[in-house]
Structure 1
Amino acid sequence: MPFHPSPAKPAFVPPAGAVDAHCHVFGPAARFPFAPERKYTPVDAPAETLFDLRDHLGFARNVIVQATCHGTDNAAMLDAIAKSGGRARGVAVLDETVTDAELERLHAAGIRGVRFNFLKRLVGDAPRDRYVKVAERIARLGWHIVIYFESEELEELSPFIRALPGTIVIDHMGRPDVTAGLGSEGFARVRALMDDPRFWIKVSCPERLTAAGPMYDDVVPFARALVEANPDRVLWGTDWPHPNMRSHMPDDGMLVDMIPRIAPTPELQRKLLLENPMRLYWPEEVL
């Protein structure tokens, strides 16, 4: 599905310097081809459009996350970071054969983490041996690991995830089943991971989790519970351009206007949108 052509101007004004800590760039395919093994083909979503959206929504910076449709070719993301004037950082997807020289190049280019995907519909059986080797390779750079999974699979995945080194960031609230309620076993396992101070979590993607649809009222309690329990280890992002959506395409302005519902005080909003992402992605600028 194409991304929303004219997102609303949000009523909520993010704090100065706010970071959209989860978004993507795709293509243009004529310049940055998609991976032959991809499970979906997104619309072109170039850096210039992302940065226009950033400004429209009232944000100052982006963290661009590599998605499976580009595989381990991080060129489109690196091109976007280079065009950002220092206002973007990235999370890459890597093969275990990456050289030390390439890792150094990626670090200098603004990469600060790697993403491990466990969603069977996107990667089949996750290559855990490769993930372990990549985790070992990046440890010396101080990068973190972003993990994407379904909460219903967490009972089996949890020992492997806990054994990974360093800081670990959970994508999209761990994808809980919101119809099962805050007390569900899957969400309890996500929250148990957060008991370990190495773990962070993104309170993003209500459009992927909702059963009720916009305004995503059924997702708000999950995000708010995570923000209030872990104020110093939560992140937020648009997930623009919302790849592989099938039910509806969200309005990014509406997503921004959800923020006061999940982080109801200025202090929580500042941690979620500014202090936490700056500490993780631009630590050299944190006073």
Structure 2
Amino acid sequence: MQSEIRLPEGGCDCHFHIYGPFDRFPPATEGRFTAARPFTIEDAFALWNRLGVTRGVIVHAVGSGEDNAVTYDALRRYPDRLRAVAILKPDVSDRRLDELTDAGFKAVRVTMIRQDGKPVSTLGTSYDDLVKLAPRIAERGWHAQLWIESSDLAAAAAELEKLPLNFVIDHMSRTMADKGHEHPDFRAFTERLKTGRYWTKISGADRNTRIGSPYADTAPFMRAIVQAAPDQVVWGSDWPHVGHSAETRPDHQVLLRLLHECVPDEATRRKILIANPARLYNF
């Protein structure tokens, strides 16, 4: 029996979501990425106690509404442990932007993932919204977190880079494992990390895999990212894994073993888990 892996003191989960309690923060939408039951910040802390997580970054969920209320509430109650990524629309007031900034929001998440040539969701912050928001959030030190596949990033990068922002790319650029880590667009993504303007989260192995747990087909992507730019990488659990069935929901020890296998050097792991998040999210 394998011993359980725990993160080092100061370790950060840079990608998780919260939902509810529903009597205060009811679901705003229905669909694949809306939770069927509450997953509160206290539930997240219970998981962190088992995994050794010290800090975390809430990625506000589309299913929790565009007012960011549940995430704002968590940050106000636990300011030392939490930072967050918002959903915004261009009509957000300067006063509200300042409130979110003061609470610990550091970015806006933009969904640019497509399926069969169409956006997977029309909810949340769009690319057009980002263009309008960019000068205002840049003034407040925010970045843009993009849920985008590496080929779409290759096509969009020239326009994106005209914006006065840095970029964090979700889930290793959401490149499905059968595409191959030598694909030119994925290699171009790892080269962008070297510029210092891009970051990525080595998360979402369970979403990028084609063969399932323990996600061995995603390991070459994770290794390539870390080899290319270890200073531009953070880690996230993606808890509570909304959209998975009970059969496909990942085991967190499997995710941590994958991290250790792909990043065997302890100093590099500590950089990814502690130093890089502190720099990116100003812990």
Match of 2:90?
96
Match of 1:139?
138
214-223 vs 79-88, which moves further: 79-88
Change (3 A) 1:125 1:134: closer
Instruction: After TM superposition, give the deviation of residue 209 of structure 1 in Å.
Output: 0.6
Match of 2:68?
74
Secondary structure of the residue aligned to 1:279 is: helix
Instruction: After TM superposition, give the deviation of residue 34 of structure 1 in Å.
Output: 2.3
Secondary structure of the residue aligned to 1:212 is: coil
Instruction: After TM superposition, give the deviation of residue 100 of structure 1 in Å.
Output: 1.3
Please give the TM-score of this superposition, normalised by the length of structure 1.
Answer: 0.89
- Of 30, 44, 47, the residue aligned with 1:50 is 44
Identity of aligned residues (%): 37
Q: RMSD of the alignment, in Å?
A: 2.2
Matches within 5 A, 1:179-218: 179-218=178-217
Secondary structure of the residue aligned to 2:5 is: coil
Higher RCO (CA-CA < 8 Å; seq separation 6+): 1
2:85 counterpart letter in structure 1: V
Count of residue pairs brought into register by the alignment: 276
Please give the TM-score of this superposition, normalised by the length of structure 2.
Answer: 0.90
Q: Note if contact 1:38-1:70 (Cα within 8 Å) is conserved in structure 2.
A: no
Match of 1:282?
282
2:12 is aligned with 1:28: no
Instruction: After TM superposition, give the deviation of residue 148 of structure 1 in Å.
Output: 0.5
Matches within 5 A, 1:154-169: 154-169=153-168
Change (3 A) 1:160 1:30: farther
- Of 51, 54, 63, the residue aligned with 2:57 is 63
Q: Note if contact 1:211-1:218 (Cα within 8 Å) is conserved in structure 2.
A: yes
Instruction: After TM superposition, give the deviation of residue 257 of structure 1 in Å.
Output: 2.2
Structure 1 spans left out of the alignment, 5+ residues: 1-7
Change (3 A) 1:170 1:9: farther
C-alpha distance in structure 2 between counterparts of 1:243 and 1:118, whole Å: 18
C-alpha distance in structure 2 between counterparts of 1:110 and 1:9, whole Å: 37
Instruction: After TM superposition, give the deviation of residue 278 of structure 1 in Å.
Output: 0.6
2:262 is aligned with 1:262: yes
Residues 46-105 of structure 1, C-alpha deviation per residue, up to 9 Å, x if partnerless? 111001111110110111011221242211111222332520111111111111111111
Match of 1:220?
219
Structure 2 spans left out of the alignment, 5+ residues: 114-118
2:127 counterpart letter in structure 1: R
Instruction: After TM superposition, give the deviation of residue 180 of structure 1 in Å.
Output: 2.3
Matches within 5 A, 1:214-253: 214-246=213-245, 248-253=248-253
